[in-house]
Amino acid sequence: MSTDRPVFPPRSSNPRLLASRSNTSRRSRLEHLRRLTLRDRQLLAWLAEHYVLSADQITEAAFTSRRSARLRLATLHGIEAVSRFVDITTGDGQYLYALGPLGMLVHPTAYNDPDRPDARPPRSSIERTERIVGSCRLAHLLGTNQLFVDLLAHARSHQNAWLARWWSEQHATAAYAVAGIRPDGHGVWCVGEHQQVGFFLEHDNGTEPLAVVLRKLRGYERLAQFGPRYPVLLRVRSRRREANLLRALAGVPTAMPVATGIHDEHPAGPAWTLTTEPGLRRWLHELPSDHGPDNPATNPHRFTHPDDD
């Protein structure tokens, strides 16, 4: 049996050659950066903030067709702006997307670990992607992001509606750390000139006892004392789960409005039931909302409409 092994050319130690390769790589990155469109940069910003989006979610939020999305995502993957891997949460085989090496160059301070916010920064985009792929919260992340994707898609076909703020769990947790809340997401939904509804999302997959879900409301009680009074959206998987929540909260006073909804209903529409109005469904923009006192010391993240500047 032959014991011959393949012989590879030795790596050059010539400083000039190494410098030339480095310059070529740098020029290539700069050229790729120049090729990024505004839509590309928006997508990279979403992936930096929210970790992961599916091909379907990206299509709904930013493209006019599956074909155009597929072609552009292939280009972005080719220039390493995004990384991709097969969705293992549903078995449908579609790609999920995260930041690639070029994307992390654009967003060097991206959130790095969905399970451990205080984890050390990853050494590469590959390590960051591995953390996302291996996260026990991957399905939860996709479910949370879906509500905001639905709102973005709705806004694209309704000129008077737009999603003015979309914060991840880590962003919202840091911003409202004094109150100790950990919402799965935070947004501000605007319809027309005067209807602005901030909200905190609690995306429920039915894996926690109702008592645990209800305990999450305590932090919002503290926030209402000095910050915004936004509705807390308890979004659950089934009507039965929703009915149990409404029964548990019947007659219970809350400083924040609390509304329940179902995963399968469009979040912009009449999908929300306030715990104080169990027989009525409201549109998202109809929910009561208060941005809180205009006090930079106690409410530094108070939302300001662009037209109010």
Contact 258, 288 (CB under 8 A): no
**How many Å from the N-terminal Cα to the C-terminal Cα in the chain?**
79
pLDDT digits (tens, 9 = 90+) for 58-75: 999 999 999 999 999 999
Contact 221, 230 (CB under 8 A): no
pLDDT digits (tens, 9 = 90+) for 10-21: 555 555 544 445
Q: Could you tell me which residues come within 8 angstroms of residue 184 by beta carbon, excluding any fewer than 6 positions away? A: 140, 144, 169, 201, 202, 203
pLDDT score for 159: 92
pLDDT score for 211: 86
pLDDT score for 212: 87
Helix, strand, coil % (nearest 5) of the chain? 40, 20, 40
pLDDT score for 9: 45
Low-confidence ranges of the chain (pLDDT < 50): 1-9, 17-20
pLDDT score for 19: 47
pLDDT score for 214: 86
Phi, psi of 186 (to 5 degrees): -140, 135
